[in-house]
Structure 1
Amino acid sequence: MKDLVKRYGLMLTSYMVIASLVWIVLLVILPYFMMVNYSFRPNLVAADIGGPMDHYTISNYVTLFQNQVHFHVFLNTIWGGAMVTFICLCVCYPIAYHLAKVATPQRAAFLLLLLVIPFWINEILRTFAWFIILAYQGPLNAFLKFFHIIDKPIRYLSGNGAVMVGMVYAFILFMVFPIYNAMESMDKNQVEAARDLGAPTWRIHWRVVMPHAKPGIAVGCIMTFMLAVSSYAVPSILGSTNSRWFTEIIYQWFFEGQNWPQGSAYAFILLLLCIIFILVMMRVFKVGLTDIAK
């Protein structure tokens, strides 16, 4: 705080602190507090709110484990989010390494621009573009049939495959940039020294590059997983009845079923899942909050 006062002055520092507190309290703490409060209450009509039937209960949480369909969707969402995170890591790691340590600054800037430009378009429009590409009579099937790779069109939109493709494309930047930022600070001489000592490429990455990039990998995995499991637009557009996402059920409780307590309980369970995943990633990569904040 003293450093901030010295740098920006008392008035500007006070303004930044107050603005941050207002932001955190009104847009983070208070909404979550209301959601948790809703999740422990029964779904009542307006006339019964505040009456003898209005009491705290855990029935909204028990519903998830009693409803086998919802519980299966919840597990499928965890698995799908983990798979999207793993695929993004496999795709983005070599891209980030090439941008940070192989490409020239001019080439790296050009490639980063190519990665960023598609994201100037709204996510829903990009998802609908994938819907057209992966449609039964879409251009992908037409291309594969033209070159006689397939005999008949494939229904890409009937399972989790299309959802994962759309999510990997939608969240690829959230994996690339943290890893790229972590690798960029690494001394290239470390890689050259390991290569001069006879280490193969895979060992150089396992023993030199990846340990240095651990904070970036952890941040990328955390952000990608949280965005994947909490996504609604991608699974609702590219998914089917066989690939429902937990967020779709939350949406149905809130807006179709008008059961806000049940929807709040499901939303809070999803929040707990994200918190647990953050703690697991920090434990797996052996990084702390200060490492992630860098």
Structure 2
Amino acid sequence: MFRQLKARFGSAIAMAVVGVLGVWLIAMVTLPQLQMIDYSFRPSLLPAEIGGPKDHWTLDNYVTLFNNEIHLAIFFKTLWSSVLVTLLTLCVSYPLAYFLAKVASPGQAALCLLLLVIPFWVNEILRTFAWFILLAYSGPLNELLLSMGLIERPIRYMSGDAGVLIGMVYAYILFMVFPLYNAIESLDGNQIRAARDLGAGSLRTHWRIVIPHAKPGIATGCIMTFMLAAGSYAVPALLGSPGSRWFTQIIYNWFFAGGDWNQGAAYAFMLLVLCIGFMSLVMRLFKVGLADIAK
């Protein structure tokens, strides 16, 4: 990156950009994470006890998680639900990204992208509240389905995880669409036409040509969507029922309701490890590296 910046803007600007980026990564990303890790290995002590004989590294905060069956179940449920959100978002985004990249005209693609982006000019909390209204027991969606005769009684969308899944797919769809769109757009259309001329159907063309070419975009979209879903707090808090708690809500309670930052840091670090593990798994599954994802 430095060489490219130097060739385009000169040494001074290249060094300034790299320096600012380095300071941001160290001050805003690395140091807070290291402090969180340090907190997670220390017991929760009174201010007068900090620095004393009791202030030493321990695994008690992590033992608390593995000994608490409810929190551990919520942890694995968050893992599974985040994977499900990622798969649902991929299923919704892939046809849309292919349409924008290879089917739609430039004008149609620009209009569709504009329609996708405009709702995200509104705050995430307000967008989630909009879904809360739509999915309510007496909300517009149930009223519409009842008037069309498709259902006999209103559906409680927010009695389980359905409302959370719908809200998250909507909230993070752009993070899947744009990487897929960028990857599919670079595919030579002649390869698709050649496959069709040789008798390949649509499914076989996508499976053998489009999807292999779009692997970096799929990997990037899956990683971003999973991390955002696993770390989401607003959507589960607003659209989830009491029985569909997210692991981030437990972390929030430790930090702000319980005032135990050390225990909350341990839970947050476990969530970070989960996200890093998922990212490594996706990269290995799609056989892509960081350089491929960064393109």
Using the TM superposition, give the Cα deviation of residue 4 of structure 1 relative to its aligned residue in structure 2, in angstroms: 3.1
Residues in 2 aligned to 1:279 and 1:17: alpha-carbon distance in whole angstroms: 26
- The offset of 1:16, in angstroms, is 1.2
- How far has the Cα of 1:5 moved from its partner? 2.9
Aligned position for 2:23: 22
Q: Return the letter of the residue paired with 1:16.
A: V
The residue identity in structure 2 corresponding to 1:171 is: Y
CA distance in 1, matches of 2:155, 2:257: 32
Inter-partner Cα distance in structure 2 for 1:205 and 1:250: 41
**Distance in 1 of aligned mates of 2:110 and 2:156:** 38
* CA distance in structure 1 between the aligned counterparts of 2:10 and 2:207, rounded to whole angstroms: 46
Structure 2 SS opposite 1:115 = helix
In the TM superposition, what is the alpha-carbon distance from 1:11 to its structure 2 partner?
2.2
State the shift of 1:2 in Å.
4.4
Matched residue, 2:132: 131
User: Which residue of structure 1 aligns with residue 120 of structure 2?
Assistant: 119
* 1:107 and 2:101 matched: no
For 1:49 and 1:288, locate their aligned partners in 2 and report how far apart those are by CA, in whole Å: 43
What is the Cα-based RMSD across aligned positions, in Å? 1.0
- The residue aligned with 2:158 is 157
Aligned pairs for 1:53-132 (under 5 A) are 53-132=54-133
Please list the CA deviations of residues 181-222 of structure 1 after superposition, one character each: whole Å capped at 9, or x if unmatched.
000000001000000000111110000000000000000000
**Letter of the aligned partner of 2:6 in structure 1?**
V
Question: Distance in 2 between the 1:143 and 1:115 partners?
Answer: 23
Query: May I ask how many residue pairs the two structures share in their alignment?
Result: 294
**Fraction of identical pairs, as percent:** 62
CA distance in 1, matches of 2:250, 2:78: 11
Structure 2 counterpart of 1:196, one-letter code:
D
Q: Residue type of the partner of 1:80?
A: S
Q: Which residue of the partner structure matches residue 225 of structure 1?
A: 226
Partner of 1:271: 272
In the alignment, the residues of structure 2 paired with residue 73 and residue 3 of structure 1 have an alpha-carbon distance, to the nearest angstrom, of 46
SS in 2 for 1:72: helix
Asked if 1:211 corresponds to 2:212, the answer is: yes
Distance 1:289 1:17 in 2: 19
> What is the deviation of 1:9?
2.3
Q: TM-score, normalised by structure 1?
A: 0.98
Query: Matched residues in 2 for 1:162 and 1:83: separation?
Result: 13
Which string of whole-angstrom CA distances, capped at 9 and with x for unpartnered residues, describes residues 114-146 of structure 1?
Answer: 111111111100000000011111111111222
Name the aligned partner's letter for residue 276 of structure 1. G
Q: How far is 1:98 from its partner?
A: 0.5
Paired residues for 1:230-269 under 5 Å = 230-269=231-270
What amino acid sits opposite 1:72 in the alignment?
A
Between the aligned partners of 2:66 and 2:133, the Cα distance in structure 1 is: 36
Aligned-partner SS, 2:172: helix
